[in-house]
Structure 1
Amino acid sequence: MKFAWRRRSRYWLFGLAIACLTTLAGVVYQTERTAADLAAFPPPGRMISVNGMNLHLYCLGSGTPTLVLEAGLGENVLSWHPVQTKLAQTMRVCAYDRPGLGWSDPIDTAIQPEEVAKNLHTLLNNAGIAPPFILVGHSRGGIYVRAFYHQFPDDTQGIVLVDSTHEQSPMHQYLYAAWDYRKQAMQIAVAEPLSRIGLVRLLGIADADRRPSPLPAEILAAKTALQNRTDTARAVVNEIAVMREGLDPATPPPDSLGNLPLLVLTAGNLVDPDLIAREAARSGKVVEAEKALARIQQAEQDDLARLSSNSWHILVRNSGHFIMQDQADEFVGAVSEFAKPFSLKSGGEGQTNDNAGLAQTAVQAGEFKP
């Protein structure tokens, strides 16, 4: 019996040694590949110091006001690639990476939308970019730009919401909301330690080209390199931790924007009941549950459009959640038309928008054609 116990102990020790060596090898692999990726894909913009950390800011074009792009959950400046250069032909356009995303330094703790907004304000100030700003928020970024306006209303001349998240998401009325977010949080939480030992990279879990994409190959390669960073997984875990607070039924609705010029762009594919039903049947999901989710998402988008008495709501057909990639030309046309009246005023006076063309074309469930 003593001999058998010693033999089992040797097996356990041998297995533990193999696991430790494998983990160490994975850590070395992840560290070396991350360093190689950062050397192969240097930041296209500037690194600006903000409260002791360096944030990446990428600006193109010139003029006033400045269009400021706020990306969605886990995204970085590259998600705006199809539209930033085109928009910069007529205005200054700045995208940036939140802490831990893209090329920005990481932070260890989750931060609330109000802190995200303060960081952005400090970033722009330290970079010498003066207001006024037109803020463009995609998905989760929509919450951040609204938080920016409520803290710095005098610096904000208008807001564009791109298939924006609602403050009370994930949809209190949706039966599977809690489970969906819990599952997502668990997946990301597992991915973070796996990313530290290189398994996320080896298995291609975070690869940016896992679906057909309009992004060029070199942009996809850079995006994949950034998404394989351990810092990215940690940043996404932190953001999801804050997002899950929206499951609380006591979460307040989004605050009014008064008469601030507001453009709401909604992804048509995500609220089309027929398309939703076909896709649900094809993928084996519960058709009625997915159609209910689509109705809730449409209601939330309508609610966001009502936040301002001076708003336009455009349903962008044949587009998924990433409107700026799926329908880049329509996106550029709508945002350019929205911003045009401001750029015609010296000093960006006031917060009125005389954009009759946009108002006439952005009818209910319509498509905008400049």
Structure 2
Amino acid sequence: MADLAAFPPPGRMISVNGVKLHLYRIGSGSPTLVLEAGLGENVLSWHPVQAKLAQTMRVCAYDRPGLGWSDPVDTAIHPEDVAKNLHTLLNDAGITPPFVLVGHSRGGIYVRAFYHQFPEDTQGIVLVDSTHEQSPMHQYPYASWDYRKQAIQIAVAEPLSRIGLVRLLGIADADRKPSPLPAAILAAKTAVQNRTDTAHAVVNEIAVMRRGLDPATPPPGSLGNLVLLVLTAGNLVDLDYVAREAERSGKDVEAEKALAKIQQAEQDELVHLSSHSRLIIVSNSGHFIMQDQADEFVGAVSEFAKPLAQK
């Protein structure tokens, strides 16, 4: 409670089906850029780029239920429901379509679900090192221990957060790894990530994500001729870099290289979802491209969005 008092939401709280969701909207003009964060993330993950993008267009970031400053929900939310919630949120906030949707990591699945339900409202999509629906199944032979460990974490994360151990041990602290985010943003991010609601929301999202381990999970759906930009983290698909990092950290080099090849294949498949697409491999970047290479991210997204403003 003290943390939330010290770090109030930067945006507005808007009720969607009885749940208050946090929407942070800045800028004006066209097109309207809608930012969908990755697994367990919130509006602050876009801090290095949102204000810069808002110099030429309206940019909206928001928190899914239980994440950031948004109220929690009890049950797991499927991508289709995430998309419906976002559509209602934008409508209730008076933000009219069309939208250019930007999805990072797991958020890439959510923005594509939005397009499939509301194609007439979607002007374009940017996938930022996006997750592939079948990724767990593709990766499992090389990352089986990671998925077993994840199952254990799912089982213990929420009860540990309820008795304060997550906060005590600093498991969810945003500054546990070197970050380009300013200290004040890291402090706010830590405050919201230590909420029990956040642990519950992450558990729910992972529970849905793990269904990708089922071979019956369908592949990503076609985007037709929708304009699409795919940004891929260069460090995750550069085999030399991956091998060096694996050796440095004591991981299985061949397994890590196999995972990198899977990552590249998945990104290539996402590019081919649309007949009107472009792939940019962002060099010297990890998974959080908008933080590791903020200027390149802003340049690529601005260039992508500029012709859409004229339509």
**Shorter-chain TM-score: what band?**
over 0.9
SS at match of 1:55: strand
Name the counterpart of 2:50. Answer: 84
Q: Give 1:236's aligned residue.
A: 202
> Taking every aligned residue pair, what percent have the same amino acid on both sides?
87
**8 Å CA contact retained: 1:171, 1:296:** no
Of structures 1 and 2, the larger Rg is shown by 1
On the 8 A contact 1:174/1:293 being kept in 2, the answer is no
Paired residue type of 1:51: N
Q: 1:176 aligns with which of 142, 147, 153?
A: 142
Partner of 1:326: 292
Distance in 1 separating the partners of 2:147 and 2:23: 30
Q: How does 1:280-291 map to 2 (within 5 A)?
A: 280-291=246-257
Q: 1:86 to 1:219 in 2, by over 3 A?
A: same
Match of 1:44 in 2: 10
CA contact 1:136–1:145 (8 Å) conserved in 2: yes
Q: What is the 5 A alignment of 1:273-312?
A: 273-312=239-278
Superposed displacement of residue 172, structure 1: 2.2
Which one has a larger percent strand, Structure 1 or Structure 2?
2
Deviation, 1:173, is 5.4
Separation of aligned partners in 2, 1:162 and 1:308 = 16
Contact 1:116–1:144 under 8 Å retained in 2: yes
Q: Specify the SS of the correspondent of 1:102.
A: coil
- DSSP-derived class of the 1:249 partner: coil
Residue of structure 1 equivalent to 2:83: 117
Q: Contact 1:276–1:294 (CA<8 Å) still a contact in 2?
A: yes
Shift of 1:174: 4.3
1:200 paired residue among 149, 161, 166: 166
Instruction: Tell me the TM-score normalised to structure 2 length.
Output: 0.98
TM-score, normalising length: structure 1: 0.83
> Which residue of the other structure, out of 203, 212, 224, is the alignment partner of 2:178?
212
* Cα distance in 2 between the residues matched to 1:171 and 1:312: 26
Residue in structure 1 matched with residue 227 of structure 2 by the alignment? 261
Counterpart in 2 of 1:65? 31
| Equivalent residue in structure 2 for 1:133, among 99, 115, 122 | 99
- 1:79-120 Cα offsets, whole Å, 9 max, x none, are 000000000000000000000000000011101100000000
Amino acid at match of 2:222: S
Query: Paired residue for 1:225?
Result: 191
Residue ranges of structure 1 left out of the alignment (5+ in a row): 1-34, 346-370
Q: Which of 90, 99, 122 is the matching residue for 2:65?
A: 99
Structure 2: distance between partners of 1:245 and 1:102: 25
**TM-fit CA distance, 1:344:** 2.5
The amino acid of 1:291's aligned partner reads K
Give the Cα separation in 1 of the matches to 2:51 and 2:18. Answer: 30
Deviation at 1:185, TM superposition (A): 3.1
After superposition, where does 1:156-175 map in structure 2 within 5 Å? 156-172=122-138, 174-175=140-141
Partner of 2:114: 148
Which of 283, 302, 305 is matched with 1:336 structurally? 302
2-structure distance, mates of 1:121, 1:182: 35
Distance 1:265 1:111 in 2: 26
Any conservation in 2 of the 1:170–1:178 contact (CA below 8 Å)? no
**Structure 2: distance between partners of 1:178 and 1:54:** 37
- Offset at residue 281 of structure 1 (A): 1.1
User: Paired residue for 1:247, among 213, 217, 232?
Assistant: 213
Structure 1 residue 177, shift from structure 2 partner: 3.8
Structure 1 residue 311 displacement after superposition: 0.3
Question: Given the alignment, which residue of 15, 19, 42 partners 1:53?
Answer: 19
* Cα shift readout 1:287-334 (whole Å, capped 9, x = no counterpart): 111100000000000000000000010000000000000000000000
CA contact (8 A) 2:142 2:259 kept: no
